[in-house]
Structure 1
Amino acid sequence: MNQIDELINISIEAGKAILGYYDEEIKVTRKEDDSPLTKADLASHNVIVNSLKELTPDTPIISEESGIPAYEERTKWRSYWLVDPLDGTKEFIKKNGEFTVNIALMEEGEPVIGVVHIPAKKITYIGQKSIGSHKIDQEGNKTRILSSRPDKDQPVTIVSSRSHGASDTEDRLEEMGFKVGESVAAGSSLKFCLVAEGVADIYPRFGPTMEWDTAAGDAVFRYSGKDEARYSPITYNKESMKNGEFVIGHE
């Protein structure tokens, strides 16, 4: 079994661990930054971290639930895993199905493999440098997904956060030369995937995110170009690991 298949299986097992808590009353605690934390986050974290340690014992792992290693240590890493065990905890709490398991392999500051698994829908997106991006449906059928740069002369479809919408998004995009025709709401890193498969043209994010929120979905987007990788403005292994504002898909 190759590495990408191993990662898909790990994400599926993590998804099963999450769904083990989905039908019961979800108890929520708060982390230091006031973001929500559930038993499902920790269960998924344990599945992924233990599995990755077995798969690649010498490769460091950063998970949202494991804390951030010192910058001085991280800058020496050539490669590492970047994981969000349950992206879209707010969507999980709302039980709307739009939460994901995110696993990315980082090399030299960019995501070279990304797996985004949607446990409630049994759908998985994968992006891999040099191979491209694919979608695996509920029956296990694997299909190449492609995206292209939007035409500024035509109204664009944007994907917006279901839980973190910005009121001035359309105005700011118009300043960039885009007229918004339609807006599709989605949770978690699904937003990257919807751009990668051409359901939406642009994903603007004018609020803060962390690197583990974006890495796997960013890989799915980057490698959805037909002939070459798509441009992404997001950089990784920053000192704070906090992302600034970004717009995905406009270039």
Structure 2
Amino acid sequence: MIELPSGVDINNLIDDIRIFSWQAADILLYYSKLLENSDDKGNILQNNNEDDPVTLADLKVNELIIKKINEKYKNINWDILSEENIKISSKIFDSKTDWIWVLDPLDGTKDFIQGTGNYAMHLALNFKQKPYLGFVLIPNKNQLWIADGKKTWCEKRDGSIYEPILLKNRNLHEMTLVTSKNHGNEILKNLIQEINFCKVKIMGSIGCKIASIVHGESDIYICLSLPGKSAPKDWDFAAPESILKAAGGAITNLDNQELSYGKTGFQQGGIIVATNDKKTHPSICLEIKKIIQKSGIYPL
């Protein structure tokens, strides 16, 4: 059994992160509303990188979460890995502790700017490079998904709770795929056509996609990164992985190997498959791999 760092009670910790998360939701909703006015957009965007935009919302949530954790939990032996801090700091993140918070203050920034509502905050507490606790906040849907290492549930701001709904025992062609809105590529599109899913849903933010699986709205997500191109990072997957696995789903690479965190560059490249059923997940991965090998559309 995994024990949290000395002096940390899991129930109190979840209570605190719950409070911090809804405070983050207020920030994200505030800036989302401002972005509806084109006159405000220039002030909110902090760079001109269309492929990797940063907004004031990213920075404000980043500042809030790190400040709150550090203030509430002084002298606890853990570190905080944040997407925004990695972007702005020249220092190499070199943690010597088993416990690391992994934060993405705004996953789905493009969708946030576009006003689709498909954006999320990810926060996971990793132990020995594996997600243990996880929080996926989806402000526009009034959802805070929480995983405590054993189970997953979703809370609304008023405290009402509902449980995961994972629609299991479906074969690959019966599944509903949830896929990227802003990060697709031709090879992934070709693979989706080859598999011929029952239905395809388009959605931004990995957190939103995984939440849609846990909520029973879809069954599978495939992330395909091209060799030598950009790929998702640890903060894109840590929190979503925690809520999916604790709910009974699975997320691995195509060879059914668990994701590895803390690698150089924090890359999560290659092909990653997330499904709603850990029992059938290996066979689903194998079937997808055979389709890729037969079609030759991706170098394995």
TM-score class normalised by the smaller sequence: 0.7 to 0.9
Work out which of the residue numbers 1, 8, 32 in structure 2 matches 1:22.
32
Instruction: Write out aligned runs for 1:62-73 (5 A).
Output: 62-67=81-86, 70=92, 73=94
| 1:118 partnered with 2:141 | no
Q: Cα RMSD between the aligned structures? A: 2.4
Q: What TM-score comes out, normalization by structure 2 length?
A: 0.73
Match in the other structure for 1:212: 235
17-26 vs 200-209, greater mean Cα deviation:
17-26
1:187-229 deviation per Cα after TM superposition (whole angstroms, max 9, x unaligned): 111111111222211100113211111111111111111xxx7
Give the structure with the larger strand fraction.
Answer: 1
Aligned residues: 243
Give the structure with the larger helix fraction.
Answer: 2
1:108-144 deviation per Cα after TM superposition (whole angstroms, max 9, x unaligned): 11111111111222211112212x1111135431122
1:17-39 deviation per Cα after TM superposition (whole angstroms, max 9, x unaligned): 22222222223233889510111
Match in the other structure for 2:214: 196
**Aligned AA (1:152):** N
Match in the other structure for 2:125: 105
How far apart, in 1, do the equivalents of 2:172 and 2:210 lie? 23
Contact 1:26 1:38 in 2 (8 A): no
Match in the other structure for 1:238: 263
Match in the other structure for 2:160: 141
Q: What TM-score comes out, normalization by structure 1 length?
A: 0.87
**Aligned AA (1:80):** I
**Aligned AA (1:116):** V
Instruction: Write out aligned runs for 1:65-104 (5 A).
Output: 65-67=84-86, 70=92, 73-74=94-95, 76-104=96-124
Query: Which is bigger in relative contact order (C-alpha 8 A, separation at least 6)?
Result: 1
How far apart, in 1, do the equivalents of 2:259 and 2:208 lie? 16
Match in the other structure for 2:16: 6
Contact 1:11 1:102 in 2 (8 A): no
Unaligned runs of 5+ in 2: 1-10, 35-39, 226-230, 253-257, 276-280, 283-300
Unaligned runs of 5+ in 1: none
Work out which of the residue numbers 61, 85, 90 in structure 2 matches 1:44.
61
How far apart, in 2, do the equivalents of 1:164 and 1:84 lie? 17
How far apart, in 2, do the equivalents of 1:63 and 1:153 lie? 35
1:9–1:158 Cα change, 3 Å: same
Q: Tell me the SS of whatever aligns to 2:209.
A: helix
Match in the other structure for 1:152: 171
How far apart, in 2, do the equivalents of 1:63 and 1:4 lie? 19
How far apart, in 1, do the equivalents of 2:50 and 2:259 lie? 22
